Structure 1
Amino acid sequence: MSKPVIITCAPTGGIHTPTMSPHLPVTPSEIATAAIEAAEAGASIIHLHARDPETGKPDPRPETFMQFLPIIKQSTNAVINISTGGGLGMTIEERLRAATTASPEMASMNMGSLNFGIFPMAEKYSDWKHDWEKPFLEMTRDFIFPNTFQTIEYALKELGDGHGTRFEFECYDLGHLYNLAYFVDKGLIKPPFFIQMVFGILGGVGADLDNLMHLHTIAQKLFGDAYEWSVLAAGRHQMSFATQSAMLGGNLRVGLEDSLYIGPKQLARSNADQVRKIRSIIENLGHTIATPEQARERLALKGGDLVKF
């Protein structure tokens, strides 16, 4: 029997903008509600970003996170995972502020720099809710999302060693697995660790099943049984790749950060809708979903009683 599938839900992210969907959570209240509903639907890990409640722009301020983190913790048993990706263009210090303030069980960590191209989305809209949205997207035509070896080591020591926080290691390409292996060999990352393979972002590896199989094969060669792995795919590939991961014995991530849709040309009305859909698929395939406590045990997390919110 395969292990229960860990479902991560990323309710809002820092890529999509308010114009793109009326269902994208923006305010602290909306983010809290989305996270709680996703947990109730079956997500055992909630991956969180914050947004300015007035404009919807990605917001790294700890005080914004603290408007919804305690509510989610009090209302669910889910593992709370704070993004260190922040918003495009932020410094690593800005990206880490919320996590070092909250000292969560988990945080995300991008394992390499890449051309993070979301500018094609600007071509799909003509009327914008906010002035910042179109320039935010278009600036990625000439933008590198920096995650250098020095940056990664700084985050591992500052947040990992300093707070006992463990990571969702986001790998957007083959080389990112080898970057991760470097830090494992140096003893800065210790098993069990959690690899999130990311597909379909322009500048990273494409959403092609052969790519998924190859990254999984290389991860097995590099890490053996020392890791848990999960898959997310952007846009229309979200559900198919999540399903493939579950069939291969992996875990998965859904949420409006990764795709605004629930089906072809059909906007998801909530994050919970996406969780319920993939849960139904998983269970119909004969698999079970992991509880938050099972996720904590498998990922060796410190426990929700040791966070600072």
Structure 2
Amino acid sequence: MANSTEINRRVIITCAVTGAGDTVGKHPAIPVTPKQIAEAALEAASAGAAVAHIHVRDPETGKPCRDVALYREVMERIRSSGSDVIVNLTAGMGGDLFIGPDHEPARFGSDTDLVGAEARAAHVAELLPEICTLDCGSLNFGDGSLVYVSTPDILRRQAAIIQRLGVKPELEIFDTGNLWFAKRMIEEGLLDAPPLFQFCLGIPWGMPPEPRMMLALRDMLPANSVWAGFGIGRMQMPMVAQAVLLGGNVRVGLEDNLYLDRGVPASNGGLVERAVTIVEALGSGVAGPGEAREILGLKAPGR
């Protein structure tokens, strides 16, 4: 729970299997097609992940997209496999704003994909995953001119849609103000108990992947929260250990880190296996999908 200072003895592992980053071509096997993404989710589940976090990509270009049909194919492949893995669909796509050149900043870049709350949740409304993400604020996303846009008005509308659908929102916290606003949405009745938080550390220019930062975030949580945390790149596994020690759950996967060891490309299954090793070396156990559903307060699949 949120205010516990004890190590987490039953740890939920989420695997973020592909993401939306520019990683195609930087790794020999980034999942791109719905078949590859579904297989990656099942590989992660077999290795010990209770939750698979899903983005989809254009099968021709590998670029991120919001095509409901692609999400549907991934979901159908996972569900028809007989796997009990919990599906967590991103609902953060549609917030990318590329600011134009200095003399004409309102001439937005061609990769801009900026839509409202309803469009961001269209696939969630149609497919009803058990979990979807809710990115709780705007952010200068890395160097350059990309701003991820998620305003209070958009967030309130999106939270209300997700709540009406009966899907559990995973509250993505990229900076401390995101947590502040998520707590405000709880006070406004837009988020049901128990709230689920995900601390996203190491994304420039949000929060650095430092132990003190994760501790501070943990201590800011409302009572009876469930939380997880992750770091990107080489900080992925150190943040696994840090989250478990602080009483939280963990996330790994190719969305956040491409390497198992220095110069050794990772697989989603390999990253989950490494996380399992860390969790068990700390004296904790890994929660399966059934136990994870109880911890997260999820409704039964296919409700």
Structure 1 length-normalised TM: 0.87
Give the stretch that moved more between structures: 69-78 or 90-99. Answer: 90-99
**Quick check: which one's helix share is greater?**
1
- The answer to whether the 8 Å contact 1:61/1:97 transfers is no
Aligned partner of 1:275 in structure 2 is: 272
CA-CA distance at 1:3 after TM superposition: 3.8
| Shift in Å, 1:234 | 1.2
Match of 1:128?
Answer: none
Pairs within 5 Å for 1:52-131: 52-75=58-81, 76-86=83-93, 88=96, 89-90=112-113, 91-92=115-116, 93-117=118-142, 119=143
Q: Is the 8 A contact 2:200 2:207 kept in 1?
A: yes
In 1: Cα distance, 2:260 partner to 2:141 partner:
24
Q: What are the within-5 Å matches in structure 2 for residues 89-238 of structure 1? A: 89-90=112-113, 91-92=115-116, 93-117=118-142, 119=143, 141-161=144-164, 163-219=165-221, 223-224=222-223, 226-238=224-236
Q: Measure, in 2, the Cα distance between the counterparts of 1:149 and 1:249.
A: 29
- Separation in 2 of the partners of 1:31 and 1:276? 18
- 1:133 match: none
The answer (yes or no) to whether the contact 2:229–2:249 under 8 Å persists in 1 is yes
**Aligned to 1:9, what secondary structure does the other structure show?**
strand
CA contact under 8 A between 2:22 and 2:63: conserved in structure 1? no
Across the aligned residues of Structure 1 and Structure 2, the Cα RMSD in angstroms comes to 1.4
Report the 3-state secondary structure (helix = DSSP H, G, I; strand = E; otherwise coil) of the residue aligned with 2:238.
Answer: helix
- The one-letter amino acid paired with 2:136 is M
Q: Give the Å deviation of 1:212.
A: 1.2
The amino acid across from 2:230 in the alignment is L
Residue range with higher mean Cα deviation, 83-92 or 230-239: 83-92
Alpha-carbon contact 1:232-1:238 (below 8 Å) kept: yes
Matched, 1:292 2:295: no
Gaps of 5+ in 2: 1-6, 97-111
In 1, Cα distance between equivalents of 2:191 and 2:43 = 32
Contact 1:105–1:301 (CA under 8 A) maintained in structure 2: yes
Unaligned segments of structure 1, at least 5 residues: 120-140
Size of the alignment, in residue pairs?
278
Whichever residue aligns with residue 275 of structure 1, its letter is V
CA distance in 2, matches of 1:79, 1:58: 22
Which amino acid is 2:161 matched to? E
1:174-218 deviation digits (Å, cap 9, x = unpaired): 111110110111111121011000100112001122111111122
Partner residue, 2:240: 242
For residues 80-125 of structure 1, what are the alpha-carbon distances to aligned partners after superposition, in whole Å with 9 as ceiling and x for unaligned?
A: 01101126343234432221211111100011111111x5xxxxxx
Alpha carbons 2:163, 2:190 under 8 Å: kept: no
> Which of 48, 51, 56 is matched with 1:45 structurally?
51
C-alpha change, 1:189 and 1:271, in structure 2 (3 Å) is same
Measured after TM superposition, the shift of residue 299 of structure 1 is: 1.3
Q: Which runs of 4+ in 1 moved over 6 A?
A: none
Q: Partner residue of 2:100?
A: none
Cα distance in 2, alignment partners of residues 232 and 86 from structure 1? 20
1:14 aligned residue:
20
Cα displacement (A) at 1:300: 1.3
Q: Residues of 1 paired with 2:210 and 2:294: CA distance?
A: 32
SS at match of 1:20: coil
Q: 2:30 aligns with which of 19, 24, 46?
A: 24
